[in-house]
Amino acid sequence: MTDNSKVFVYPKDVSAFGFDWGRLSLTVAPEVNGAKRFSGGVVDLPSGKGHTRHNHPGAEEIIFVISGNGEQMVEDEKGNPVVEKVGPGCTIYVPESRFHSTLNTGDAAMQLFVVYSPAGPELALRELPDFRLIRRADNVTG
């Protein structure tokens, strides 16, 4: 059951999606607090880690770099990879269904806030072979 009263949510308040490359803590989503048009959350990438080239069919994505430094790839409309160095304060727009990837090239952890519109493409991440659910009590970033 969705708790519509959860309008203030920290990553530690929710279970996270864990992967070999890091974790995603959904803090805004239909199943978290009843959001209807988008979903989003905090991504933590350890140094040297990142998520590989992928896309979200039918959805746009916004990636905001909270901390850390890395390389972001977003393919152009012809499918050519465009790579830029990114750091704190950078907003990356990923057009609908466009392939993209992120790599933490810094010495410290990289933290991002991601938004998907419409909500839903993040649920497909549960099908990845390295997916594991990190229960709320264990989802504490250190």
What is the residue-averaged pLDDT of the chain? Answer: 92
Q: What angle do CA 123, 34, 9 make, to 5 degrees?
A: 85
Sign of CA dihedral 95, 96, 101, 107: positive
Helix (H) or strand (E) holding 119: none
pLDDT tens-digit map of 15-47: 999 999 999 999 999 999 999 999 999 999 999
Domain 13-110 architecture: Sandwich (2.60)
Q: Please, which pLDDT band fits residue 3 given cuts at 50, 70 and 90?
A: low
Q: What is the pLDDT of residue 124?
A: 86
Q: What are the boundaries of each domain within the chain? A: 13-110
What confidence tens digit (pLDDT) does each residue in 94-125 have? 999 999 999 999 999 999 999 999 998 888 88
What confidence tens digit (pLDDT) does each residue in 38-92 have? 999 999 999 999 999 999 999 999 999 999 999 999 999 999 999 999 999 999 9
| Cis bond before residue 30 (omega within 30° of 0) | no
Alpha helix segments (H runs only) across the chain: 30-33
The model's pTM is 0.90
